[in-house]
Chains A and B, each alone.
Chain A
Amino acid sequence: MNIENEMKLSFKSLSRNEGFARTAVCAFAAQLDPDTEEISDIRTAVSEAVTNCIVHAYRNRTGTIELVCRILENRELYIRVRDRGCGIENVAKAMEPLFTTAACEERAGLGFAVMESFMDKLKVTSAVGRGTSVIMRKRIGGKNE
């Protein structure tokens, strides 16, 4: 798959970086000229993935979050959010809507459901003790063709 453009960011797992990450991805995606609905979908999906690193992966500590964005062929936006945190034991279970390991913190267990429904593709790989990688793809302007 040809990579037409790419950007990489790495930042600390501080909650104040959630807004930064959303804005950075949308600024990069702007070259695909997404409509307001698409921007809103991307913004929300990125927020979910980054928040999960901060809330779950690096619970009680600060680590580094790595973000890669690419423009692929056919106006496809590729986003990878990766942490080196605690990892997920059972990814299929974690991705079930309403599943959460942090109910007492008022987490709804809907982050993955949001990513899945707002993006075209979602792939999660994880290893306990080593970290998690979330890859999302969305074709921009696909609805009108």
Chain B
Amino acid sequence: MSLRIESRDRSVTAYLTGEIDHHIAAAIRNDIDYSVRDTGAVELILDFSGVTFMDSSGIGLVMGRYRLMNEMGGSVIVQDPPHNIKKVMKLSGIDRLAEIRNSTEEESK
């Protein structure tokens, strides 16, 4: 698992890669929350394009970030989750809390 965070104009993008499970979730959470608070972000984009595996610990991670952004008056966007990741997300109903979007479609609009 590796994590890269970029921020610009109060929008933070976290590029997640590899496997997201309980073992790694707390470390990811701390890094993202630090950036969000530090920049006063109103938009958090979680880029899942490089994620190869995720279980319900990843759902907890997205739900927790939704709560944080909600508290700060902002929103969460889940970007480019692969098929198997989307399957877990759909089951959880997380798509009702965070927009799931495809970045390539977004560009062609």
Contacts and interface: CB of A to CB of B under 8 A. Distances in A.
A15 B23 contact: yes
Contact residues of A: prevailing secondary structure? helix
A48 B56 contact: yes
B23 A108 contact: no
Contacts of A113: 91-92
B25 A106 contact: yes
Contacts, number: 62
Q: DSSP majority for the B interface?
A: helix
Contacts of A129: none
Given A51-B55, A114-B88, A18 B23 contact: yes
Interface residues of B, number: 21
A126 interface: no
Interface residues of A, number: 24
Contact of B22 (A37, A40, A55): A55
Nearest to B92: A110
A28 B8 CA distance: 46
A18 B21 contact: yes
Interface of A: 15-16, 18-19, 22, 36-37, 40, 43-44, 47-48, 51, 54-55, 105-108, 110-111, 113-114, 117
Interface of B: 19, 21-23, 25, 29, 53-57, 59-61, 63-64, 84, 87-88, 91-92
